[in-house]
Structure 1
Amino acid sequence: MDDDIIINIPLVVPYLAEKLKAGKSVNVLECKTITENIPVRERNNKWFITPEEYPFTKFLPYCAGHSSIMSIDVVRKMYRASKNVPYLWLEDVYGSGFLSLLLKLNMFMPKFYFEPVISSLYDKPCSLFYLNIFKNESNALVLWNTITKYEKRLNCMY
């Protein structure tokens, strides 16, 4: 998790418990999947990457770096594979893009995986993770109060 992510703990815990109960606790790589992204070639941009670093015009599908759910076997496989794959400083592209392709891992994005905080402040909180893009503490508190208000009565459908 990045520091601008709010975890919907009352939803994450039962979600993960259900995966475990259903025997779906290996080869897990869940995230907000980015499928159509191109390298930034403008030198003044924070995400600038040279053609020498990445010579292709498009990135492979990868997990957005702010949050992901991985089973421990995936973490171990990625670690071992990283010894054989040249490093790329864009860690989300490298880890969940290059390494998951090499390992033939399937990325999965649950429909309720992620939302911006602003769109869910006063709504029923049915997403696992929320991005607090402005790192606004008051929005984080309002969202957390919304999450805890609904935690016992909410029936979110995965």
Structure 2
Amino acid sequence: MKSRKIMIIVASIAVLLSIGGCTVKQKDDTKQGKTIAASSTKDLKEDGETIKKKQLDYLKEHEQKVIDLVKAQNSKVESVQIDWDHTQWSDGGLTTPEYYMNVYGGINNIEESSWRVDIPINEDSTLNIDEMYLGSYIRVGGKLFE
């Protein structure tokens, strides 16, 4: 019985030490990564801005697909306005780690109208227009448009 307790204690210590060793190794790797990242942050930012511009230009060429998607939500939608100045890029968060381009706009030239379309971004930084969906339903004055 006593030797069994000792075995459990030794095994527990071994597990804790190996977890601690992995944590220290990971911290060392992270520090080295920060040095590399700091030296190329400017280049990455420029590349990121270039990619976003290309994505936005591509979407503008295919804006009719966004308009068609919004119009398909309600037969009362006569016109769709896209607010290109408020386009955003985001990740889906913890539950959906994919990256998205978020496009906003209004309908029927109504000032208080709004909607959002989410467009997945592929691993190669291209937009997956075929998989876009309405991320926020059409609203007018904060209420669902019916």
TM bracket (short chain): under 0.3
RCO higher in structure (CA 8 A, sep ≥6)? 1
Higher helix share: 2
Larger-Rg structure: 2
Higher strand share: 2
